[in-house]
Chains A and B, each alone.
Chain A
Amino acid sequence: MSERERVQSDEAKGPPAEDPRIAGEKHPVARMIGIGIAASLVGIAITLLIDWFPEPAASSAGKIDTLYDVLLICSVPIFVLVMTVAIYSVVRFRAKPGDMGDGPPIHGNTRLEVIWVTIPFIMVTALAIYGWITLDDLEAKQKNEMVVNVTGQQFTWTFDYPSEKVQTKELVLPVNRPIEFKIKTKDVIHSFWVPQFRLKSDAVPGLTTRIRVTPDREGHYEVVCAELCGLGHATMRQFVRVVPAAEFQSWISQQKKAAGGGGGGGGGAAPSGEQLFTSDGCSGCHTLKAAGATAKVGPDLGKLGDVDADFIRTSIVDPNADVTKGYEPNIMPQDFGDKLSKEELDALVKYLLESQE
């Protein structure tokens, strides 16, 4: 109980006796508040002037950028407060050489402690409410949404427009049209992210996750995988093009024509070797000039040299059978023999043989 009595006695004494080290200074606290406000204003100005975000390209971006600005405006004064008190204390109350004295035995101050519990509590509560409102706003259902299915796999994305029955490797979106992405994965967890849209969502085995985006600026942006998904994670990049509505329509009909022309109509035809090369993930790790693939995790498949069909087939089904010099074993998935049908494997082997430079 002695501690509590002492705390009370500290408070009962009223304002502490004047400290000789700050006696020459009138109103040290007022002065610190002045310095603190000035430093906060400068700090807020600097942090707001920094160009933090990539250019915004969706209606969601503005809301998140504003939220971040509000967070900065609230954070800077807190940091400045801590720094002002710490630096002031170190400068004013630093021990003189040979000073063996102690500071005054102040054990606490209930009023001060109530203040520094209450103010942060109010601040974080207000920010949480603001965050919640923004979140609901971002995820609200929009009129006239177009659904785009996104499928991740090691190490590539496939986009599919169910209303148009079109599947592509490049994401093209009409500007100002609300989009609902339905995100899935064929293997491990990936994360679909377009930094310019500010929104991301993991692609989770067994689930379909959703995000809603309304792109509002035409341009060419990167689709990034943000969740570690294995060896080729860093190179799992594709592009999204935001285009005017008319251009989008002509692109869609072009895609339909291309898909229809190759297979002779209908969805039943076997995919070509080139399609398999990109849709089954080969392009995520290998370079192949003929397919426009540039990844460097595995060897360049356009420069295999003097090899026959059997070698290529074995290398796909049992990648450890012959590992190219300079590359490690066990890096390439060993289940392509199960994933690909015999026809698909034949088509892929034939395509690779034809694509040698």
Chain B
Amino acid sequence: MTLTRRLLAPGWYRAFLGIALGFGFGLGIVVLVRSLYGWDPIFNWDAIITVGALVAAPVGYLIGIGCFDYWFRWASGAPTIPEDHSGHGAYSWRDYFGVNTDHKVIGIQYICTTFFFFIAGGLMAMLMRAELAQPGTQFVDPNTFNGLFSVHASLMIFLFIIPVFAGIANYVIPLMIGAPDMAFPRLNALSFWMLPAAGTMMLCSYFAEGGAFATGWTAYAPLSTDTPLGQQFFTLGVQFAGASSIATALNFLVTIITMRAPGMTFWRMPLLVWANFTTSLLVVIATPFIAGSQFFVLLDRTIGTHFFDVGRSGDVLMYQHVFWFYSHPAVYIMMLPGFGIMSEVISTHARKPVFGYRMMAFSLVAIVILGFTVWAHHMFVSGMHSWIRVPMMVTTMLIAVPTGIKIFSWLATLWRGVIHLRTPMLFALGFITMFTLGGISGIMLAVVPFDIHVSDTYFIVAHIHYVLFGGSVFTIFAGIYHWFPKMTGRMYDETLGRIHFWMSFIFFNLTFGPMHLVGIDGMPRRVADYAEQYATWNAIISISAFIFGASFLIFLYNMIASWRHGPAAVGNPWRAHSIEWQVSSPPPVFNFDEVPTVVGGPYEYGVPGAVHAVFKEKEPAHAGAVPAPAGGGGAPPPVDQ
């Protein structure tokens, strides 16, 4: 292919061209506007980087890589093929690096990309623990340190936990509900390709003048309106991550509502589908609020609005209310999909129906509704109107009720099951242990007088890591191990999986357990340096953190080695009932050669002869409409070939 053709065809050549053209376009606009107004200097690099590098270049990249080609063709009146499957399915590893409309390819793209950012964020955590291993300044100056914890949290939340759940769901949900793909495959691809842009922006903030954004992931105004350029990398990075999340959530909602296989009523949906349905409701309703809060900051910084300038009747607390109106539901956005994974894993590996299925679904809905009524519990010491604290305390504590239903129902599911202690099940049990602890410290934090003391201390750091790592990330590991055979067509190494579990479980607790203690004892969070009295605990925490970090390498090795050389997986290695396990591993390009019909619940373990779905021959007229590039019914070759 000649260079010209490469630059015109969708792909990375055109993406880099798009970035260059986008940047040039942004630079042009800034220079034009500034010269028309007669402002000096005409080349204001803060403005050029904001408009050129952070807005126009990412859009240029999305156009270049090919996310909009189909829509542009359609809009310009050029001929389009509605059933165009040329960008569907992966036949070589190269297909994972371009725009693809296959939900299974997008799912794996999501998972691999988000794990890349997980590693990046994890390395930042290691650097922080190195700095905090002893009092004083050893490795990084305070500005870099503040940047490290800000970028760490932002990557972990916006580029790992939220999107990796979207990735797992992307792969599994259409298979689980018996659909050939997501409702909007091209939108699905666009959602994914926005993520690398968002993550790259946050990482690149280190190269901005004045260093990375250093105001925490919470970016409280007016600190965030008054810091160097790096802040804008966060403000705009969040917009891309947020847009991606909203588009995906809409896609899940439409897919789950309209594309369930015949016979799959809402009360026959696996709980992972329920979990993603409720999560998507949260995302669609709440995410625009964080977008808004960051736009306020951006406008204050760039065009001179005064949302948070008290001298011009701005309101500083308004930022926190709008921010937490998203960011508290975001905690459930990061937890509900994990609840869904837990129900699948526990029921399958304990060989028992999920106990109290309907209550499990209702409790998800209850958490969604209650989740919108508790945001100000992050603001008990913020100086907001004091009467709001008590109702927010009550609603926060009430969330313990639906959450308790879930924990107790999983325990009842384990009771008298036939428990196979495979790696996913170990992570599920670890999750139950640590999420219970995180839930308990959550109840403590809800009680206003105690929160007044521990707010903004290491107790909070301990709590959020118990909920988000011991909770969410353990469910992610459980889910990755559970569906690894389905996604790759190969088995992971069980021994390495167990070592990974025990190492991370033990050293997780040694890392984050003592933080409760130092927090109550008076160590504030987000500090580059601390008083001598906390030195011993911090040394223990840092050493545990390094071993905990190293445990991830075992996981990484297991995943890479097993994906390349692991033993071939059968279609249904766990003898599970849900539909994704009834097709080959990995599934055919269009998921089902025969349309499944759902005839019963998804977890009828122990019921003699019970099945969730049956497959009947597809009518010939439809079979002809679907091209079968992978040789009809056969599974496509494993992706490593």
Chain B residues near A134 (CB-CB < 8 A) = 449
Q: How many residues of B contact A (CB 8 A)?
A: 96
A287 to chain B, nearest CB (A): 13
Q: Please pick, from B390, B407, B607, the residue contacting A132 in the complex, using a CB distance under 8 A.
A: B390
The answer, yes or no, to whether B80 is at the interface (CB within 8 Å) is no
Please state if B310 and A206 are interface contacts (CB–CB under 8 Å).
yes
A333 to B450, CA, bound (A): 36
The answer, yes or no, to whether A12 is at the interface (CB within 8 Å) is no
The digit string for B371-401, where 1 denotes a CB below 8 A from any CB of A, is: 0000000000111001001100110011011
Q: Please pick, from A79, A106, A230, A330, the residue contacting B355 in the complex, using a CB distance under 8 A.
A: A106
Q: Which stretch from B96-104, B141-149, B617-625 is at the chain A interface? A: B141-149
Chain A residues near B316 (CB-CB < 8 A) = 189, 204-207
Q: Please pick, from A64, A121, A193, A228, the residue contacting B215 in the complex, using a CB distance under 8 A.
A: A228
Q: Which stretch from A85-93, A249-257, A266-274 is at the chain B interface? A: A85-93
A250 to chain B, nearest CB (A): 30
Please state if B411 and A3 are interface contacts (CB–CB under 8 Å).
no
Please state if B382 and A85 are interface contacts (CB–CB under 8 Å).
no
Q: How many residues of A contact B (CB 8 A)?
A: 93
Chain B residues near A117 (CB-CB < 8 A) = 401, 404-405
Chain A residues near B247 (CB-CB < 8 A) = none
- Given contacts A54-B521, A204-B317, are A234 and B418 in contact (CB under 8 A)? no
Q: Which stretch from A144-152, A159-167, A195-203, A307-315 is at the chain B interface? A: A195-203
Q: Which stretch from B181-189, B221-229, B330-338, B539-547 is at the chain A interface? A: B221-229
The digit string for A65-90, where 1 denotes a CB below 8 A from any CB of B, is: 00110010001001100110110011
Q: Which stretch from B2-10, B52-60, B346-354 is at the chain A interface? A: B346-354
Please state if B359 and A199 are interface contacts (CB–CB under 8 Å).
no
- Given contacts A82-B432, A86-B411, A103-B352, are A93 and B417 in contact (CB under 8 A)? yes
Please state if A234 and B400 are interface contacts (CB–CB under 8 Å).
no
A233 to B400, CA, bound (A): 34
A256 to B428, CA, bound (A): 65
Q: Which stretch from A33-41, A172-180, A219-227, A239-247 is at the chain B interface? A: A219-227
Q: Please pick, from A199, A222, A231, the residue contacting B531 in the complex, using a CB distance under 8 A.
A: A222
Please state if B449 and A233 are interface contacts (CB–CB under 8 Å).
no
A21 to B416, CA, bound (A): 9
Q: Please pick, from B142, B210, B383, the residue contacting A232 in the complex, using a CB distance under 8 A.
A: B142
Total contacts A to B, CB within 8 angstroms? 281
Chain A residues near B317 (CB-CB < 8 A) = 204, 207
Please state if A71 and B447 are interface contacts (CB–CB under 8 Å).
yes
Chain A residues near B353 (CB-CB < 8 A) = 105-107
Please state if A85 and B411 are interface contacts (CB–CB under 8 Å).
yes
The digit string for B551-593, where 1 denotes a CB below 8 A from any CB of A, is: 0000000000000000000000001000000000000000000
The answer, yes or no, to whether A94 is at the interface (CB within 8 Å) is yes
A94 to B419, CA, bound (A): 4
Which residues of A are at the interface with B, using a C-beta cutoff of 8 A?
A: 2-3, 6, 16, 19, 21, 50, 52-54, 63-64, 67-68, 71, 75, 78-79, 82-83, 85-86, 89-90, 93-95, 99-109, 112-113, 116-117, 120-121, 124-125, 127-128, 130-132, 134-135, 138-139, 187-189, 191, 193, 195-196, 198-207, 209, 222, 224-235, 296-297, 327-331
Q: Name 9 extra pairs, CB < 8 A, besides A16-B416, A86-B429, A199-B453.
A: A3-B357, A63-B449, A79-B437, A94-B419, A108-B358, A191-B381, A207-B316, A231-B214, A297-B142
Which residues of B are at the interface with A, using a C-beta cutoff of 8 A?
A: 137, 141-143, 146, 209-211, 214-216, 220, 222-223, 226-228, 267, 310, 314-317, 350-353, 355-359, 381-383, 386, 389-390, 393-394, 397-398, 400-401, 404-405, 407-409, 411-412, 414-421, 429, 432-433, 436-437, 440, 443-444, 446-450, 452-453, 455-457, 517, 520-522, 524, 526-531, 575, 600-601, 604-607, 610
